[in-house]
Structure 1
């Protein structure tokens, strides 16, 4: 079968091979034919080693597909079922799961060290336990979350990462209320999903902040009430909030400079929500005195900031109600074989979400 392989950290291009096989199927496993998988900035972080993972590996973690086969003991899905690849599965028994915080459950982390592919005598691991840049993948059962027939594979793939992460940051981590003001810094797939979430929550002002003009236009089409470049953000604070600051600022980049901009744009007592993934060397650019005096809440948001399947359900309900259109996030579609072209598009900022599909 076809898969895109990363043989060592720092590769600029993935190696697409058609002689890859899945391995490791057995009790507690699910074999899934991937129908659609999106490209996410986290995949680039995986290529650079910013997000650690066992190497060599198959990248991809935002996917959906059809169950081909289930191992002994798997009862929640069966052959023919449509599933989202949930890269943060819950064990159901740990303290986080009991508190309804399955997005913090660490049960799935071990999967990154389990080989799931083989090519030319070498075993390959799955990025974030998922490995969706392949025609098929063998997953631990918890990674397969069923979704209804009235949701498309593309929408389900987006729910599998970017939409749940961004929209969940707005509706869960920030708990945006009707009439509030929100700024979103960084308007790739995750950031624009946060824009959509803030709009769905009834925010009066949703300001998209991005250096790329095309992304600002997309943000306006998908719910932003204004869109500005990073240099224009102070003006937006003055003109839109009368200098008061935004109730919530969602940072979807993962750099100290943009975190600082988010902090400065939030009102006193407001929320600074950190969604972007930075590196271990990136330090928080806020001192303790100003943090105390401003009373601003700094809230990291992991995978939607709430129980994962609960957020999946909220997103699906918003789709059914016609309040969000996830297919509108997809600006480019191409076959898996063109994955390197898709990566170039993502790096350039010329795409919002690129969707790789398998026939």
Structure 2
């Protein structure tokens, strides 16, 4: 991005002369790239983040797809408690002018810089050293946060049915993530087709539960949670809808306790099982939402195929965590877990270990 033109935009946005002290890339992933802007106005120093999304895959195939997502994020980030705030959406034309959306070819979102420690770092530490009392308190804090935001309901049967439909067919959900798998991987087209069919069986079940529509984060996983104090935290990257199904958020975090237990032990036990049980106990005691266990299966499936995807978690990542086994075998376990739970009418929290032990016709 042309920094001179960025200065002109910032001066207009903040109604002040601006001097940029630093502009650098701070992150790049499958979905896009983020840049830090450190600058001075006439009154103060500011540090903001400029993020864009990559074209191609996951439903991000046209510039208009990205524009729509960023426009939604710009509004919705500021409505969710504890989420970082957004300032604006920028459009950039072919000459790198920051311009109106109609002339833009690239799109960016301008938001607060997030300061804190990723919850994923806690998980990594637990992997090596076990859990502390603070880890338990943080798990309860995360569960109670979901209790709070999920208590905000919305009466919109049409929207809930859309969210049920999107779970299978959306570019960022089950079919889109499966389409991103490398051609040569541990799975096959036959298997992923059958997995989609199994998940689709929950579509009519969910359609009958429109009363469940509630406020959600939409991507409540350890890399989007930054702790700033003992149990206080901020959130990043709210995704896919202001309202949705509570099971989406619950499964997004809970699958990680299963995943990291598999990395450490090859099964579900010990400290990660303790945190999983504590998370669900806290959530269910405070929401009384036993119904969630009737429809959480396809959401756990979605999360399982995300963490099993070599694009998001390549073999090299497993090696960095000290995993001694074969990543393909662990991915197979996650897929078999998905096949197994999609056949269950009710998800049994005390059967996680058995779900993981089940084999499928694919291995």
Q: TM-score range by the shorter chain?
A: under 0.3
* Higher strand proportion (structure 1 or 2): 1
Q: Name which structure has the greater RCO, CA cutoff 8 Å, separation 6+.
A: 1
* Higher helix proportion (structure 1 or 2): 2
TM-score of the superposed pair, with normalisation by structure 2: 0.22
